[in-house]
Amino acid sequence: MLPITEREWTGASEAERLRMLKSLEKAGLCEAARTLDWSRAGPSVLRWISAQRDVDLGTAMTLFLNGEPSRFNHADRDTLNEADRARCAVLDALCQRINCGYYLPDPRRQMTELAAFRAWMEAQDRDRMMQRRGRWVFNPIVVAPMISEIRFDSRRRHRVMPVNAERGLLKGLISPFFA
């Protein structure tokens, strides 16, 4: 975490950690959320971060992936212990907020694990083809600004297309609906 030192964070209680996070500006909060260790953060810290309007879409998606959702996506809810249920509740809230457009995309803060999220979306598509459903299903239209091959460069004020942009994930996910 950039604005908060590791020593301050490690020795702090959950209430102190919340106080430290609340004192951060938008950029600092987003950086802290991206680097947060879920195993040491505590559920109240994670819930507070996920409820903040200052968190952008790329940060929220990165925070989601940092929570290791693949461990629980197809797990039976009744077999989870209390700590895992609390983690899943935060992941539930993140997924719901992402899908409803609560977090806005910020072109300055892209996802850090783009390949991992694309793999998540491909697995989600495979689940749909096999007529099953994981616990967290993302709307491809909402997450498109973070995973699309087409990017907007805010410094140049135009769209930047990669060299090999003829078959992107978004096109692969949406084109079956219009075939």
Q: What is the pLDDT of residues 9-55, one digit of tens each?
A: 677 788 888 898 899 999 999 998 998 889 888 888 999 999 999 99
Confidence at residue 173, expressed as pLDDT on a 0 to 100 scale:
63
91 and 68 in contact (C-beta within 8 Å)?
no
88 and 177 in contact (C-beta within 8 Å)?
no
DSSP structural state of residue 5:
-
Interatomic CA distance for residues 27 and 162, integer angstroms: 27
Confidence at residue 150, expressed as pLDDT on a 0 to 100 scale:
52
Confidence at residue 101, expressed as pLDDT on a 0 to 100 scale:
93
Confidence at residue 164, expressed as pLDDT on a 0 to 100 scale:
46
Neighbours of 17 (CB within 10 A): 22
Confidence at residue 176, expressed as pLDDT on a 0 to 100 scale:
58
Confidence at residue 165, expressed as pLDDT on a 0 to 100 scale:
45
120 and 79 in contact (C-beta within 8 Å)?
no
Confidence at residue 67, expressed as pLDDT on a 0 to 100 scale:
94
139 and 88 in contact (C-beta within 8 Å)?
no
Confidence at residue 51, expressed as pLDDT on a 0 to 100 scale:
95
Indicate if the alpha-carbon torsion angle 55, 61, 64, 65 is positive or negative: negative
Confidence at residue 94, expressed as pLDDT on a 0 to 100 scale:
96
Confidence at residue 5, expressed as pLDDT on a 0 to 100 scale:
59
- Pair type for strands 158-160 and 151-153: antiparallel
Confidence at residue 119, expressed as pLDDT on a 0 to 100 scale:
92
Kindly report whether the global pTM for this prediction surpasses the value 0.75: yes
Which residue stretches of the chain have pLDDT < 50? 1-2, 152-161, 163-165
Confidence at residue 6, expressed as pLDDT on a 0 to 100 scale:
61
Q: Classify residue 22 as exposed, middle or buried by CB count within 10 Å of its CB (0-12, 13-18, 19+).
A: exposed
